[in-house]
Structure 1
C-alpha cells in the first residue's frame, strides 16, 4: 500500500491521526448499516419468494378457469364483458425510509361504492361457473400483485444501496485506512529518527564542551 505524499511533521501526524479516527468510525457505521441492510434484504427476498409463489398459483387457477370458460362461451360475449370495466382502481404511491433508502409504499382502492369487490356485473344465465371463478381469482390476486410489485421494487433499491455501501466499506477497509496507518507509521519513524539525531548532536556538542 503506497503511503500518502505528505511532509513528515508533527502537525501532519496529528491531522492524519484525526483522519484515521474519522475513517475508522465511518467504517464501523457503514459496516453496521451494510449488515442491517443485508438482514432486512434477506427477509424481503424470502417474503418476495413466498408471495410470488402465491400470486403465480392464483393466476394459474384464474387462467385455467378462463380457458375452460372460453371453451364453453362464445368469444364475442367474453370480449363484450372485457370491453367496459365495471369499476376503476386508484393507486396511491407513497415513500418510506429503510436505513436511508427511500422505498415505495403502495395502496390501492376501488373508486366506486361497491362493497363487494368480487360482485360481477353480467347475467349469470349467459355465463358459467368457470367464468365466475376467473373473475373471483383475479380480484383476489390483485392486492397480492400490488404488494409483490412493492416488495420487488424495494428489493431492487435495497440491493443498489447494499452495493454502494459495500464499495464504500471496502474502500475504507482496504485502501483509505491502511494508507493512513502506513503514512502515520512512516511519519512517526521519521520523527523518531530526527529526534534521535538531535539527541546525538546535543551529546556530541556537550562532549566537545
Structure 2
C-alpha cells in the first residue's frame, strides 16, 4: 500500500477522512450494483438458452413444413410463389436501460400480429397449397423469437462488459484507494500524536525551567533578606 505525500496536519486529516467515507460508500454502491448485475445476467443467460432451444425447434418445424410443401407442389412452383411481391416486414428498433446498461430492442409487428388472411400471405393463391401456407406460417412464428434472441444475446454481452467494468472499479476501491487512504490517515495520525508528545515534552521542560528559575529567585531573595538582618 502507498502512503500519500501530504502535510500531516488536522485539516488534511479531516479531508482524507471525508474522502475515505465517500470511497467506502462508493465501494458499497458499486459492489451492490455488481451483485445485482450478476444476478440479472444469470437470469438472462438462462432465458437466452431457453430462447435458443425454442428458435431451433421452430426452425426445424419450418424446415420440415417447407420440405413437405416442396414435395407436394414442386420446388419450382414454391420458388415462384415465394418470389411474388409482398409488403416488407417492418422492424421497430428501440432501447432499454437495465442498471445503467443501455441495450437495443427489436420488434416485428407484422410477424407478431400474424393473420390468417390471404391478403397477408406473401404469394398468390392460384398455385399455392395448404402445405405452403403452413410452411410460411411456421416461418412467421420464427421471426419474433429470432429477434428476441438477438436482443437478449446482445443485452447479455453488454451486461457482461458492464459487470467487468464494475468489478474493476470495486477492486480498485477495495484493494488500492481505500487501503491507501487508511494508511495515509494512520501515518498522519501517528505523526500528529508524535508531534503532540514532543510538544508536551517541550512544554514540560519549559515549565521545569520556569519553576527552577522561580525557586532560584526565591532562594536568592531569601538569602538577601537573611543577610540584611545580620
TM-score relative to the length of structure 1: 0.88
Larger Rg: 2
Residue 153 in 1 paired to residue 166 in 2?
A: no
In the TM superposition, residue 139 of structure 1 has moved relative to its aligned partner by: 0.9
> Structure 1 residues 126 and 143 mapped into 2: Cα distance closer, same or farther (>3 Å)?
closer
In the TM superposition, residue 95 of structure 1 has moved relative to its aligned partner by: 1.6
In the TM superposition, residue 207 of structure 1 has moved relative to its aligned partner by: 1.5
Give, in whole Å, the separation in 1 of the partners of 2:184 and 2:76: 80
Give, in whole Å, the separation in 2 of the partners of 1:51 and 1:117: 28
Q: Contact conserved, 1:93 with 1:105, CA < 8 A, in 2?
A: yes
Matches within 5 A, 1:31-110: 31-71=31-71, 73-110=73-110
> Structure 1 residues 117 and 108 mapped into 2: Cα distance closer, same or farther (>3 Å)?
farther
Matches within 5 A, 1:1-209: 1-71=1-71, 73-110=73-110, 115-116=115-116, 120=121, 121-123=123-125, 127=129, 129=131, 131-209=132-210
Q: How many residues align?
A: 207
SS in 2 for 1:94: strand
In the TM superposition, residue 6 of structure 1 has moved relative to its aligned partner by: 1.6
Which stretch has the larger CA shift, 79-88 or 166-175?
Answer: 79-88
Give, in whole Å, the separation in 1 of the partners of 2:99 and 2:114: 39
In the TM superposition, residue 149 of structure 1 has moved relative to its aligned partner by: 1.4
> Structure 1 residues 124 and 53 mapped into 2: Cα distance closer, same or farther (>3 Å)?
farther
> Structure 1 residues 124 and 83 mapped into 2: Cα distance closer, same or farther (>3 Å)?
closer
Q: Give the unaligned 5+ runs of structure 1.
A: none
SS in 1 for 2:22: helix
Q: Contact conserved, 1:88 with 1:110, CA < 8 A, in 2?
A: no
Deviations 1:71-125 (A, max 9, x none): 55443323223323523211111122211222223222229x9843796434476
TM-score relative to the length of structure 2: 0.81
SS in 2 for 1:96: strand
Deviations 1:28-59 (A, max 9, x none): 11111111111111111111111110001110
Give, in whole Å, the separation in 2 of the partners of 1:85 and 1:185: 78
